[in-house]
Chains A and B, each alone.
Chain A
Amino acid sequence: MQAFLDSCAKSVLEGDADKAEKLAREALSKKYSPLEVIEKGFVKGIHEVGRLWEEGTLFLPELVVGAEAMKRAMGILQPALTKSGERPRSLGHVVIGTIEGDIHDIGKTLVATMLSANGFEITDLGADVSALKFVDEAQAKGAGCIAISALLTTTMSGQRRVIDELKKRALKDRVRVMVGGAPCSDEWAREIGADGYAGDAVAAVTLAQSLMGAR
């Protein structure tokens, strides 16, 4: 079994989506626990990808193909998980987007991909998203977290508007807010009352885990 789990992890680390999918199907046909295969196999792989990315051994292309392999495997295992009644540790729902007036979405998409690969449920609103839309969606989805990207010094003040809107609807205590993007910082997050700042996609996963009590 350990050898099987290791090859699941390895398929993600190597960004081999076909192999990841094949292993996920094999797990089902061999009646392995989908939960165990996800958590002790594929998730280990994506964690390793994240670690190697942070230290500068792997880069954006490897991160993207690793996350893609992870998604393919999850696509097979998730339905089986639901059917078997096993429940993955609930990591929660994150509503993510780039703030109004800002069309940069590369970083935001990367964060969404990594959060999803790490087991969060994601609603990606895309770019140029208004403060109202962020809060409406979070409310509709019962999301525990809103992640807002801003790449311009001219648009980052929109992040504050999302927090103001949450306060207005008395949701500030229930919905955590994380911010990211080139001009943002820990100080900025503190200044506007966000719950945290993440400088890259891997840091965003760690932050979301700590904010949502998944670790």
Chain B
Amino acid sequence: MTKDFLGTIKHRVVLFDGGLGSMLIAAGLTQREVPETWVVSKSDKISEVHAAYLAAGAEVATTASFGANRIKLQSSEPGRKLDPIKVNEKAVEIARKAVERSGKHDLFLAGDIGPTGLFFPPVGTLKPEEARAAFKEQAKALDRAGVDILIMETMYDLREAVEALRAAREVSNLPVVVSLTFDRKPRGFFTMMGDTTEQAAETLLKEGASVIGANCTLQSGQMIELVEEFRLVTDAPLIFQPNAGRPIMEHGIPVYKQRPREFAEDIVKIVAAGANAVGGCCGTTPDFIREVHSSLIHGK
């Protein structure tokens, strides 16, 4: 049975989970590994992170497959040892089991797709068809392994996001969430390549995205204005997953100074500004999601 994600997001706010990579680093992921290494070799650690987020109130388990496209894996020493299809299948299996074990119903399994890490010309030499092929392989593996939705996150180039989206549409009928990463410049919000919220909304919706929005780069407070900007240009469902502030080193350990409470207060404003789905990105933990969960419940 396909769960009705789009039906749900249309009538209430859906709470996604928080950052995975920064949780794995805290759990001991070393500089000689990529998170996908752990999908294969330390699945229990990933499983624990999923379980903690679900217990905190997240309604979505996002698979640990952010860097599991063939191009991204090929670009790092530890990644080259991994088979993209198997990593994606395993990541789904880990998340699915965590969902089953949580004992909760109406949870969604989101197949995570991140950027290739390479660039199209003139910045780099990546060809659109190469990106498309890698995304197709990944989207197909995630779909077949049984996710409920596909989510593309931290896309820094609208053109690459479109390739990922088209790839997904070719091999899957699942709802697709596309989240770009925007930075704040004196002249407004732009992706690294200069894409605006208006261009992003128009292009992604035309290409068949079900939900659009932004994650990473910006901290929760900075993201509120971006939500307002998006809401001005579209009526479509929107998702926002900010970072937990910049890490400060204390005695050699990265510490995120922002407290879950402040983050949750910003998320309430993000929802008020028009977000239909929220979650956290780098530096957020189950404590952040728990705080958001309780703020959203009490806010209603």
Contact = CB atoms under 8 A, between A and B. Distances in A.
A142 B244 CA distance: 41
Contacts of B77: 103
B6 interface: no
Interface stretch (B52-60, B104-112, B247-255): B247-255
Contacts of B25: 152-154
A32 interface: no
Main secondary structure of the interface of B (DSSP, over half): loop
A65 interface: yes
A159 B178 CA distance: 35
B233 interface: no
Contacts of A157: 249, 252
A64 B187 contact: no
Interface string B12-39: 0000000000100100011110000000
Given A65-B122, A153-B254, A183-B254, A60 B247 contact: no
B249 A56 contact: no
B247 A153 contact: yes
A28 to B, nearest CB: 27
A59 B193 contact: yes
Q: How large is the interface on A (under 10, 10 to 19, 20 to 34, 35 or more residues)?
A: 20 to 34
B246 A55 contact: no
Interface stretch (A83-91, A162-170, A185-193): A185-193
Contacts of B246: 183, 185
Contacts of A7: none
Contacts of B248: 185, 187-188
Contact of A61 (B122, B185, B186): B122
Contacts of B194: 58-62
Contacts of A188: 248-249
Nearest to B29: A154
Contacts of A106: 119
A1 to B, nearest CB: 31
Given A64-B123, A155-B31, A59 B247 contact: no
A152 B249 contact: no
Interface in B233-290: 246-249, 252, 254
B192 A154 contact: no
Interface in B104-155: 119, 122-123
Given A153-B25, A153-B254, A57 B122 contact: no
A190 to B, nearest CB: 11
A156 interface: yes
Interface in B156-212: 185-188, 190-194
Nearest to B118: A106
A58 B122 CA distance: 14
Contacts of A15: 122
A101 B30 CA distance: 9
B187 A56 contact: yes
Of A56, A152, A156, most buried by chain B (CB within 10 Å of CB) is A56
B76 interface: yes
A101 B29 CA distance: 12
A102 interface: yes
A138 B294 CA distance: 54
A64 B194 CA distance: 13
Nearest to B123: A64
Given A152-B31, A153-B247, A60 B192 contact: yes
Contacts of B31: 100-102, 152, 154-155
A60 B190 CA distance: 11
A152 B247 CA distance: 10
B156 to A, nearest CB: 9
B249 A103 contact: no
10 contacts: A55-B185, A55-B186, A61-B123, A64-B122, A102-B31, A103-B75, A103-B77, A154-B25, A154-B31, A183-B249
